Structure 1
Amino acid sequence: MKVVAIGGGTGLSNLLRGLKKEVGNRIEDLSAIVTVADSGGSTGRLRKAYHIPAPGDIRNCLVALSESEEIIQRLFQYRFKGGELDGHSFGNLFLVSLMDITGSFISAINVASQILRTKGEIIPATTEDIHLWAEFSNGEVVEGEENITEYGKTSKAKIVRVWIEPPDAKPPIDAIAKVQSADLIIFGPGSLYTSIVPNMLIEDIKEAVEFSNAVKVFVVNAMTQPGETDSYTAYDHIEAFLRTTNLSKIDITILNTKMPSDVVLRRYIEQGQEPVIPDVAKIARKGITVYAEDLIGESQDFIRHDPDRLTEVILRAVSHALS
């Protein structure tokens, strides 16, 4: 089975940790198409200085797919403390350095993949210096992934539209080729408007996905995200994804039904996050096959999908769809 995962942030890298274990077994070929619209932290500073695509999500996915020694993985995620490099991650600086040496963002990623011995291919959604914009329900227009989320938190307004500039940004040819040959395309989990949707705002990627014969799976987040998906149910996530991308359909939705422990849940609620309601019947009425299962891990720090459990459910669902 040829698999393409589309997204960004911690959601995509977490998913890849599970999928990579099946490469060479149930998965013949694994690729990740990764957003480069991030504008916060180390990534944002490097983008302003060098006018490059965002390296942060690429770095996280490289580490997630890595089969190298743990010390190398930790090195790529290391963040400097103090001085002019404060807050920068080694991996981001490494990718920017490789880009300067090799002359291209794609080449830099490929060299880093060789060093980290990745079990799968990492492809940026575009190599252009794109910027994300959003219009809110109060009419305000905001630029930048980090600013969009922050404005949503403070204003309590809803995101009604998102777009990228330049609007005609082109993807690498490999991204289109991988989508066209895929048996399975996975969206999510991750920040809906700032990690998943931006990839589909690149018209050539959207068209390739639209006309692909692959089974299309959408993994709904376990928790709502302040500033982006406040009070969203599972159905709301799907409806917003299809509306903002103009994609005609998805085939399968994966939902979490497990409630976190009271201690962890209380901390999330204090931060304005709550479990996403799995309104299964409403989704099923749209003709989408739903798999609703206990999917989050047992960590006492974060509420995230368990990578192995999520991978198992996805591959089982797709196996049924293809049989």
Structure 2
Amino acid sequence: MNVVFVGAGQEMLDLMKSLKPMCQRLSAICATAEPSFDIDNKCALLSYSQLEILQSMSLALNSCKEQEMATHGHVANLELLALMCHTPTEAMTVFNQSLNTSNSVLPMSDFATDLIAITYGGETVVGAKNINDLKALPKEVFLSKDVNTSLDAVAVIEDADLIIFGPCNPITDLMPLLLIQDIRSAILQTTASRLFIDMPNSTSTLVNSCTSAEYLHWMKCQIGYQFFDVTISNQFSEILQYHYQESMSVSPDDAANNKTLGMLNALCEVPTAVSLEAMTKAKLQVTPVRY
């Protein structure tokens, strides 16, 4: 099975390592950290920041005793490749090949861009760190510059059997990727199952200011499409209510791309004790099936 992770963060990496033995090929497309200096002057430095993060993820994902012994050599090779290659994607491709593995970790783009938010008060907030400090969901988010993802990233999505979004900060670790047009097109055209894993705990003031259902609905409005089919969340009743409302959409585009309709109908027709209690709390109308 070919599995692709989309996002960033230690929680995502831990899950990748756990699933690695069950995957024929495991890939990750990662949002990378934004250095805190002027947008116009940070492109080169961002490339090195990307390489450092992606290199660490590749080593952690593919490490074994022999590879751990050669870690210092791999790091030196990567630093040389960063000088010789034109893009972080090219450097990472050669670096992943040096690990002798089919698993790969890729940046969301080879070009610098920032996540920008506009609050309802008209304030412009630049960068993931500052956006995470907001106390309420902003009116609008967008990328400071439209960028493309690499052909390698598009290819792994096209070949995927399962795409897993997260677990990570959904707003600052996931949305930047979902706003890239190439990734949007690949996600909407894929035949793979699409699973979103909610962040169990977050240090983000913004994420903690709302429920999972609220920020998922807000994200869909911001990016303009439904990016997942099924959700795993610790806020069961909230997510169930969101799925049910989305599955009842009358929009032809939503109906064509939303694969949760059958699952939710079945769940509501034959509810378990747990799901029945959750749906009651979520104020959904449920009629138990009598035999």
- Determine if the TM-score, normalized by the shorter chain, exceeds 0.5: yes
Determine the structure 2 residue equivalent to 1:255: 233
2:105 to 122, 143, 150: 122
The alignment of Structure 1 onto Structure 2 pairs a total of residues equal to 246
Question: Partners of 1:75 and 1:47 in 2: how far apart?
Answer: 28
Question: Partners of 2:71 and 2:30 in 1: how far apart?
Answer: 21
8 Å contact from structure 2 (residues 119, 139) kept in 1:
yes
Q: Tell me the TM-score normalized by structure 1.
A: 0.65
Q: Deviations over 1:225-267 (max 9, x none)?
A: 43321232232242233222222352111123xxxxxxxxxxx
Determine the structure 1 residue equivalent to 2:156: 178
Which protein has the bigger helix share?
A: 2
Are residues 1:50 and 2:9 paired?
no
Matches within 5 A, 1:153-168: 156-167=135-146
State the SS of the aligned residue for 1:229: helix
Matches within 5 A, 1:190-269: 190-248=168-226, 250-256=228-234
Question: Partners of 2:236 and 2:125 in 1: how far apart?
Answer: 28
8 Å contact from structure 1 (residues 10, 60) kept in 2:
no
Percent identity reads 25
State the SS of the aligned residue for 1:134: strand
Determine the structure 2 residue equivalent to 1:31: 27
Determine the structure 1 residue equivalent to 2:272: none
Which letter does structure 1 place at the counterpart of 2:142? W
**Change beyond 3 A, Cα 1:128–1:103:** same
Determine the structure 2 residue equivalent to 1:68: 64
Whichever of the two has the greater Rg, that structure is 2
Structure 2 portions without partners, runs of 5+: 248-259, 268-291
Which letter does structure 2 place at the counterpart of 1:138? G
Determine the structure 2 residue equivalent to 1:12: 12
Are residues 1:282 and 2:224 paired?
no
8 Å contact from structure 1 (residues 66, 119) kept in 2:
no
Question: Partners of 1:73 and 1:200 in 2: how far apart?
Answer: 37
Which letter does structure 2 place at the counterpart of 1:21? P
Question: Partners of 1:58 and 1:131 in 2: how far apart?
Answer: 18
Q: Deviations over 1:154-188 (max 9, x none)?
A: xx243332211322x11111111221222211111
**Change beyond 3 A, Cα 1:21–1:241:** farther
**Change beyond 3 A, Cα 1:145–1:74:** farther
